[in-house]
Amino acid sequence: MRTVRTLMTAVLAGAGLFAMTGTALADTDTPSPSASADAAGPTEAGTSFRTATAIKPDQPATAGASTGDYLYWVLPVDAGQRATVKAKVTLPESARHGAATWQLDVYDGLRRRQACMYGAQTKAAAKDAGSVELSCTLRTVRSWAEPWANDPLPGSYYIRLTVVDLPQEDLGLPVRAEVRASTADTGGAHAVDGALAAPLVPGASTATPQADASTPPGKTAAAHEPDGGWSSGRWSDRWLWTAAGGILAALAGIAGYQLTRGSGRPSRVPPGA
């Protein structure tokens, strides 16, 4: 009976730990109220890295522009998050002279172009198409990386939208762009040891981003902090899984000892045997 009680205790303890881990993961994946999809977003875009318009995750952004313009937005992405950027370009209704190819690029705080894991980053719009939609899902942002690596690191991420190929006669035609970026927490499976001294937020401190003197009013060269501040990899649910595994291993060892050691009393040998 004692062995059975020990095993039951181990099972219940393990179930409690994994339930706690699942709750932590669920809380992590729950979007914050401030990141509501209904939040009003900016209605203009920057024309360079320095004048990029700051947006928040899940905040829609729109801008009117001319075909051939470079449009820039910037948002904060923290360690352990995977960002997905989607853009839609509404093309002019006036007659166009041919197809146009649009491209969506994402750069990190060091202005290194980041590769997309998947998504239509470049797409051609036919001559009579009314719109074109692009998307890019980045790799999970790491809290630390080797200097020679091109891994995405926490900080500002710049979104650039522009046309890369079209007939010369179509330059300057009016277009309307819509951009939305979302971030998802990937959990401790992607966590690494180490952390940056500060997130990569060019031209500003990590506490209060400020625009430089050449930045027009209402725009900023760096993204604001994420809701709740920068984590920089200080905490991940990998700690919960490690602790749960260690406790379950200890309980399994105790249960195995109870099963193999027997009753603990020497058997009686009849006299004269």
- pLDDT tens by residue, 184-211: 887 665 566 667 778 888 764 333 333 4
pLDDT grade for 106, boundaries at 50, 70 and 90: very high
Highest mean pLDDT among 17-21, 38-42, 192-196, 202-206: 38-42
pLDDT at 258: 78
Is 197 inside a domain boundary? yes
When pLDDT is averaged across residues 152-164 and rounded to a whole number, the result is 94
In the prediction, which pLDDT does 236 show? Answer: 55
- How high does pLDDT run on average in the chain? 76
Closest to 76 in 3D by CA, of 203, 224, 195, 231: 224
Element of type H or E holding 103: strand 100-107
| Of the candidate ranges 13-17, 69-73, 127-131, the one whose mean pLDDT is the lowest | 13-17
Q: Which residue carries 């062995």 as its tokens?
A: 3
pLDDT at 256: 80
Residue 10 lies in a domain: yes
Select the highest-mean-pLDDT range: 54-63, 92-101, 179-188, 204-213: 54-63
Same domain (yes/no): 203, 245: no
**Residue of 11 and 63 predicted with greater confidence:** 63
Could you tell me the pLDDT band of residue 27, with boundaries at 50, 70 and 90? very low
pTM of the model: 0.68
* CA dihedral (221, 121, 143, 57) positive or negative: positive
Write out the two tokens for 54: 């700051």
For residue 118, is it within any domain? yes
**223: number of CA atoms within 13 Å, CB side?**
28
Residue 67 covered by a domain: yes
Domain boundary among 188, 211, 228: 228
Residues shown for the chain:
273
Q: Is residue 264 part of a domain?
A: no
Both 160 and 61 in a single domain? yes
Using an 8 Å Cβ cutoff, are 219 and 210 in contact? Answer: no
The dihedral region occupied by 155, where left means phi > 0, alpha psi between -120 and 50, and beta the remainder, is left
Distance CA 255, CA 6 (A): 6
Residue 165 belongs to domain spanning: 38-228
| Residues 113 and 243 reside in one and the same domain | no
Residues 94 and 159 reside in one and the same domain: yes
C-alpha to C-alpha distance for 53 and 221, rounded to whole angstroms: 8
CB atoms within 10 A of CB 126: 12
Local confidence band at 116 (pLDDT 50, 70, 90 cut-offs)? very high
What is the total count of domains within the chain?
Answer: 2
- Assess if residue 71 is contained within a domain: yes
> Is 134 among the domain residues?
yes
Q: Do 105 and 220 share a domain, yes or no?
A: yes
Contacts of 240 (CB under 8 A, 6+ apart): 17, 20, 21, 24, 188
Task: Kindly report the CATH number assigned to the domain that includes residue 78.
Answer: 2.60.120
- Asked if 90 and 191 sit in the same domain, the reply is yes
Contact of 94 with 173, CB cutoff 8 Å: yes
Give the whole-angstrom CA distance, residue 159 versus residue 9. 52
The answer to whether residues 71 and 188 belong to one domain is yes
Q: Are strands 174-185 and 61-66 parallel, antiparallel or unpaired?
A: antiparallel
| 266 residue type, one letter | P
In a domain, 268, yes or no: no
> pLDDT value at position 255?
81
113 and 58 share a domain? yes
H helix or E strand, kind and range, residue 12:
helix 2-29
pLDDT over 90, % of the chain: 42
Give the residue from 97, 47, 51 showing the smallest Cα distance to 203: 51
Whole-angstrom distance, CA of residue 45 vs CA of residue 68: 14
Question: Best-predicted range by mean pLDDT among 112-116, 148-152, 251-255?
Answer: 112-116
Residues 80 and 112 in one domain: yes
- In angstroms, the CA 36 to CA 50 distance is 27
Q: Is the same domain home to 155 and 252?
A: no
Kindly calculate the radius of gyration of the chain based on its CA atoms and give it in whole angstroms.
Answer: 27
The residues with which 200 forms a beta bridge, in sequence order, are 155
Q: Are residues 26 and 126 in the same domain?
A: no
Q: Are residues 238 and 178 in the same domain?
A: no
